[in-house]
Amino acid sequence: MNKSTTAAGLVFCATLVATQLSAEEEGFETEAEEEQIITIIGTKERLSRKGRLADVIEKTELISEETIDRKQAMTLTEAITNEPGIRVNNECSMCGMKRVMINGLKGEHTTVLVDGVPMHSVVSSYYGMDAITATGISEIEVARGAGASLIAPEAIGGTINLVTRNATRDLLQLNAAMHDDGDQMFSMLGTVVNKDKSLGLTTALQYQDIDQSDEDDNGVSENPAMENTSLMLKLNYEMNFHNNLQARYSYFESDVFGGPTGENWDTVIASEANVATPWGNFFENGDVREQFLANPWETAEMIQSDREEIMLRWIHEVDDDNHWQATYSRVDHGQDSFYEGFDYNNTDIIDFFDFKWTMTFGIDHLLTFGIDKKSEEMRSQSEALRILQAQDPEITGDSFDTDSQGFYIQDTWYVNDKLELNLAVRFDNLQTDWIEQTTVENEIDENLVTPRLHMRYDHGNDWTSRLSIGQGFRTPATFFESDHGILDDGFEIAVTDIEKSLSVSYGLSYEGEEFNSTISLAVSEIENLAFIDFENFERPHLVNAEDTMSVSTIDWVFGYEIDSEWSIDGALEFYNYERNYQQTFAVVPLEQRARLGIKYEKERWKATLDTTWIGSRDLADYGYQDRFNIFDDANGNNLVDDGELSALKSTNAKAFSMVNFKVSYKVNDSMSVYLGGKNLLDFTQVKDLDSTLYWQSDNGEPVYDVAHIYGPLKGREFYLGFKYGHGE
């Protein structure tokens, strides 16, 4: 922390000085005008918006910097929450880890790209979603469905591409806020360019400190304390008309503490010296809704992670019809964690290289072909696991190596003024080796061919259709795909096949002067879905499902400008999960959601009000039956006897609404202040419905778990802050 904070401080000071000195130069262009021009070597194309859509063949939805600011979003998860087709699941009330679902598919099926580069794996994104900060992001592109990314075929559910800010002028932004519950944040964004604007540097720094929340005051938090620090440096150098160089370095630190309230890492570790508490004495009267009585270590989950990213890119124009792009990235992600007495550490290193050539072919075709290679090496260590292995040598770790190399070709065909087609195919070799689980090298070694088709048809009169058909694949690599609390039982990787998917989606959009609308339908099927089988083995196994799983979605997104001051936007969404697919979810997903937002802007004032409604669900469909609030170990044998489990949890998850608002006032050309609130109705699952904690019987043994989750876990909060901008 000291090293990164010092480096960030030096960068901040240098950027501040440079910005102030160069701010005296005249002739700044507006950033909005500059960012409407997207430079593709040899050509310059204007990117228009169809409501929320980019004007491209693929159905790509845009989350603008304004939308991120409107949500007071400090992290990726906050920025994409309640966006159409996206569900951010909190899958653990102790560690607070987030999974991002697209079109109803699981979190492991979502690929996060940064500037078009796949830099996140299942391992790093398990806790990394809340560590991805929003400062320095100009917009977020969401492409739903398999085949959404030419260089990320593992994106079975879709991709989320973070577009980082390019330095186009001298700029300094400061943003700081305090919440009434003690949360606080600070961010700085600075950009500096030289006189001819051929060289630009972007610096983004963010710090966020979030307190624990315990909505039912039972001594166990539903949301962990979290401290995130991030630094990004991005260099863009236009060497000449034919060559552009880009380099980006990012550093993240995250510290998560969940479970017992009023404790810290040191007191938790010290409490390990105490004898384990009998299950019946964990809570007062054995009730998870009452006071926690056990040792701090017995419900504590603490995760420290750090991450470094490097990306280098060279774009070269050969002539008016040809250009190539070479990209290299490396990610080094480390995790040091403690799960209720079990330690687990890992390092995850990802190397990626891509080279692609784009050429015009005749007057109607744009041809792209390229090669890419991605390697991931994950190594884990655990002292507690070593002790278990001494007792049972069949218990092994989860370390793995995975490599993929592929060749792809894509043709964009402008058939006529109305119809555009994008046809692509990838040829891949995929290898995965679980180095501790078996003695066979490269348990997965497959060659795959995955095609895709995108079509856009302009009907005229502002109507546009988009059709996408794509295939994807992914290697199930680790138990982190579905669960993190099975370590003390041991586990085994028993997958024999890679996951394969087929996705079909259609969207019809309308863009008028005041009104825009998009209706979308999508169907996704997955073969060989990986899930953790707790029922059919002595210890949990990561296995492939025999049945094909499917989910279908339909949503309607709209926006209407009432006049120059008022506008509204909203969405309706419906999800239909196949029955056997429902049973594989650890945390209940969405089935219906509706959102309505109102925006007001006049002179120095901006105000937004957003309401999101989540429909009711039957928790029994997701395996939530047979869970209890009370375990009364009457005879003290630490086993579940007849009648000792009581207060059966309801399987009726009622509908609820979340209301957020934000009001800002521009004091002068550089300074604005704002006031906002989240979850104004103060509705939480814990206070209004049920605890996230529960008891269950596993062949007569009591099971205590923390993932009975289907609603919001944090209550009402207000925040007050300011934003300073120089050069805007």
Residue ranges covered by each domain of the chain: 2-633+647-726
Q: Which of 631, 650, 639 is nearest to 284 (CA)?
A: 631
- Give the Cα separation of 15 and 699 in Å (integer): 62
Q: If DSSP codes are grouped into helix, strand and coil, which group holds residue 477?
A: coil
d(CA 122, CA 131): 14
Element (H, E) at 139: strand 137-144
Do residues 47 and 35 lie in contact, with contact meaning Cβ atoms separated by under 8 Å? no
**Whole-number Å distance between alpha carbons of 342 and 351:** 30
Distance CA 173, CA 184 (A): 17
CB burial of residue 383 (10 Å; 0-12, 13-18, 19+): exposed
Provide Rg for the chain, Cα atoms: 26
Helical segments of 591-696, H only: 685-688
- Give me the DSSP letters along 407-429: EEEEEEEE-SSSEEEEEEEEEEE
Residue in the block written with tokens 């390697």: 375
Going from the C-alpha of 403 to that of each of 118, 182, 187, 252, 687, the distances in angstroms are: 14, 44, 37, 25, 47
Residue-level pLDDT at 440:
66
The per-residue pLDDT for 191 is 96
Tokens of 201: 């540097």
Residue with tokens 């195919």: 425
Given the structure tokens 């795909």, which residue do they identify?
Answer: 481
Nearest to 106 by CA among 124, 81, 88: 88
pLDDT along the chain (728 residues), means of 10: 42 42 38 31 34 70 90 90 89 84 89 90 73 88 83 85 93 95 94 94 96 94 93 95 95 94 93 94 96 95 94 96 96 93 92 96 91 94 87 83 94 93 94 79 85 92 92 80 65 84 94 94 93 81 89 96 96 95 89 97 96 96 94 94 95 96 96 97 92 93 91 95 88
Q: Are 555 and 576 in contact (CB under 8 A)?
A: no
Report the distance separating Cα 649 and Cα 696, nearest Å.
11
Of 711, 721, 573, 587, which is closest to residue 177 (Cα–Cα)? Answer: 721
CA–CA dist 28, 568 (Å, integer): 32
Cα angle 629, 211, 65 (rounded to 5 degrees) comes to 110
Beta strands in 259-341 (DSSP E): 301-319, 322-339
Q: Which CATH superfamily is domain 2-633+647-726 in?
A: TonB-dependent receptor, beta-barrel domain (2.40.170.20)
Query: What is residue 7's predicted lDDT score, i.e. its pLDDT?
Result: 42
Per-residue tokens: 377: 């090496």
What is the 3-state secondary structure of 52-65?
CEECCCCCEEEEEH
CA distance 5 to 521: 46
Among 384, 456, 484, 422, smallest CA distance to 91 is for 484
Give CA 722 to chain center in angstroms.
27
350 in Cβ contact with 374 (< 8 Å): yes
Give the DSSP H/E element, type plus range, for residue 83: none
Q: Which helix (H) or strand (E) holds 166?
A: none
Tokens of 310: 């490097």
The Cα 25–Cα 15 span in angstroms is 16
Task: State both tokens at 308.
Answer: 């470094």
Interatomic CA distance for residues 125 and 108, integer angstroms = 9
